Chains A and B, each alone.
Chain A
Amino acid sequence: MNQPILAASGLSLGFDGRTVVRGLDLALDRGSVTTVIGPNGCGKSTLLKGLCRLLKPQQGRVLLEGRDIAAFPQRELALRMAVLPQTPLAPSGLTVTELVTRGRHPRQKWYQQFSVGDEAAVAAALEATDITDLSEVALEDLSGGQRQRAWISMSLAQESDLLLLDEPTTYLDLAHQVEVLELVRRLNRELGRTVVMVLHDISLAARYSDRIVAMKDGVIMAQGAPSEVVTPELLWEVFGLRAQVVTEPTEGRPHVIPLGQESVASSV
Chain B
Amino acid sequence: MRGWVLRIGQASFVLRPRALLVGGCAVLVLLLAVLAHLMFAGRPLAFGEVLTGLSGGPGAPSRLILQVQDFRLPRTVAGAVAGACLAVSGALTQNVARNPLATPEILGVTAGASLGAVAVLVLAGGGAGGLSGAAAAVGLPLAAGLGALLFGGGVFLLAVKRGSDVLDSNRMVLVGLGATAVATSMVTWLLTLGDVTNAGQALTWMSGSLNGKDWDTVSPVTVVALPLLLISAFVARWLLLGSFDDNTARSLGLPLRWTRPLLLLLAVLLAAVGTVLAGPVAFVALVCPLAARQVTGTVVAPLGVTALLGACFVVVADLVAGFVLPQALPVGVLTTVLGAPVLIALVLRSQRRTS
Contacts and interface: CB of A to CB of B under 8 A. Distances in A.
Interface of A: 49, 52-54, 56, 73-75, 77-79, 81-83, 85, 87-95, 97-98, 101-103, 105-106, 110-116, 118-119, 140, 158
B247 interface: yes
A107 to B, nearest CB: 9
Contacts of B234: 110
B299 A85 contact: no
B250 A115 contact: no
Given A88-B244, A88-B245, A115-B12, A140 B354 contact: yes
B2 interface: yes
Interface centre among A74, A110, A112 (most CB of B within 10 A): A74
Given A74-B250, A78-B253, A95-B2, A85 B12 contact: no
Interface residues of B, number: 31
Contact of A102 (B1, B5, B252, B300): B252
B156 to A, nearest CB: 22
B12 A113 contact: yes
A112 B10 contact: yes
B248 A89 contact: yes
B245 A85 contact: yes
Interface string B1-30: 110010100111110000000000000000
8 contacts: A78-B253, A88-B244, A94-B299, A101-B1, A106-B252, A111-B13, A114-B12, A115-B12
Contacts of B247: 49, 54, 83, 85, 88
Interface centre among A81, A88, A110, A113 (most CB of B within 10 A): A113
Interface in B221-248: 234, 237, 240-241, 243-245, 247-248
Given A88-B244, A98-B2, A115-B12, A103 B252 contact: yes
Contacts of A79: 253
Contacts of B12: 111-116, 118
A152 B241 CA distance: 17
B128 to A, nearest CB: 53
B42 interface: no
A82 B145 CA distance: 45
B254 to A, nearest CB: 7
Contacts of B10: 112, 115
B244 A91 contact: yes
A191 to B, nearest CB: 20
B245 A89 contact: yes
Contact of B14 (A53, A56, A87, A114): A114
Nearest first, the 8 closest Cβ-Cβ pairs linking A and B are A78-B253, A83-B251, A106-B253, A89-B245, A85-B247, A74-B255, A91-B243, A75-B253
A113 to B, nearest CB: 5
A213 to B, nearest CB: 21
Contacts of A103: 252
Interface of B: 1-2, 5, 7, 10-14, 165, 234, 237, 240-241, 243-245, 247-248, 250-255, 257, 299-300, 350, 353-354
Contacts of A110: 234, 237
Given A91-B240, A94-B299, A98-B299, A114 B251 contact: no
Given A75-B255, A111-B13, A113-B14, A91 B250 contact: no
Nearest to B254: A74
A91 B251 contact: no
A265 to B, nearest CB: 42
B251 A90 contact: no
Interface centre among B7, B252, B300, B354 (most CB of A within 10 A): B252
Contacts of B248: 85, 88-90
Given A92-B354, A95-B2, A113-B14, A81 B251 contact: yes
Given A91-B244, A101-B1, A113-B13, A73 B251 contact: no
Contacts of A114: 1, 5, 12-14
B316 to A, nearest CB: 28
Contacts of B14: 113-114
Contacts of A78: 251-253
B231 to A, nearest CB: 14
Interface centre among B10, B241, B243, B250 (most CB of A within 10 A): B250
B298 to A, nearest CB: 8
A140 B351 CA distance: 13
B13 A54 contact: no
Given A85-B248, A85-B251, 6 more contacts: A73-B255, A74-B250, A81-B251, A88-B245, A112-B12, A140-B354
